Amino acid sequence: MRNKLANRLLACSIIFLLFVSFTNFGAFAQSKEEAEQIIQEASDKLKTVLSILEELVDINSEVRAIISQVDNSLQLINEAKQLFRDSQYDLSIQKANQALDQLENIEEEIAELNKSAIKESWLIYSIIGVVAAFATVGFVFLFIKKLHPWYKKKQIEEYSNLEIIYDKEYGEK
């Protein structure tokens, strides 16, 4: 009777241990997958942000500050990759998520910068347009003012040199 009980207890404990270890293994595998996925997401975001930054023509102090933030995110991603290689998946997820959040904020910052740059460029182009229009009007006015009297003078000179000759032969016919 005691033996039976002991056997049952042993069997139950083995089943319990197997259940616990499988559950843990499942969770472990899940965090590995999750870490891999978030690292990939963060790396893709970094490349997107980098390509947006490469398109910026004016690299002023604001952009330079953004570049150092992007570099900071890169270091976080690389730390996450190292932690992943060391099988520290939870820490790896934490670092990759931190990088991803940072990069999303940076993307928004760049979008804001671009908006203000577009506004500034519109203002500059509008001013240039108005100035150019005035310059054109002035130029045309001066051109006509100078050229028209000269043309009239020339015309009068040309006509004053003309002489009317009556064709007698034609008149007789």
Partner 1 sequence: MAKKNNKSDGRNPKKRLPKIDQNKIVTLVIVFCTIGAIVAITSIVFFPNQQNGFTELSLLTYNAAEETYVANNYPNQISQSDNVTIFFMVKNFENKITYYQLQIKVTKISQNISLEHPLSLSNSKLLYSNETYEKILSPATKSEKEEEGAQTGQYIWGHVNTTLFMNNTLATILEGDDSLKIVFELWKFNSLIDDFQYSGIFTFLELSYN
Alpha helices in 56-88 (DSSP H): 61-85
**The binder of partner 1 chosen from 31, 34, 74, 91 (CB under 8 A):** 74
Piece of the chain touching partner 1 by CB under 8 A; list 9-17, 21-29, 48-56, 105-113? 48-56
Q: Does 64 bind partner 1 (CB under 8 A)?
A: yes
Q: Does 162 bind partner 1 (CB under 8 A)?
A: yes
Q: Does 85 bind partner 1 (CB under 8 A)?
A: yes
CA distance 50 to 165: 85
CA distance 104 to 49: 9
CA distance 38 to 80: 10
**The binder of partner 1 chosen from 6, 9, 50, 133 (CB under 8 A):** 50
Q: Residue with structure tokens 């002991």?
A: 6
- Number of chain positions touching partner 1 (CB under 8 A): 28
C-beta of 44: minimal distance to partner 1 in Å? 10
Q: Taking a C-beta distance cutoff of 8 angstroms, is the pair 132, 112 a contact? A: no
Structure token digits, residue 141? 């006015």
The amino acid at 29:
A
Collapse the DSSP code of 58 into the 3-class scheme (helix H, G, I; strand E, B; otherwise coil) and give the result: coil
Q: Which of residues 101-140 bind partner 1 (CB under 8 A)?
A: none
Q: Does 67 bind partner 1 (CB under 8 A)?
A: yes
Residue 82 CB: number of other CB atoms within 10 A? 13
Q: Does 57 bind partner 1 (CB under 8 A)?
A: yes
Binding site for partner 1 (CB under 8 A): 47, 50-51, 53-54, 57, 59, 63-64, 67-68, 70-71, 74-75, 78, 81-82, 85, 143, 146-147, 150, 161-165
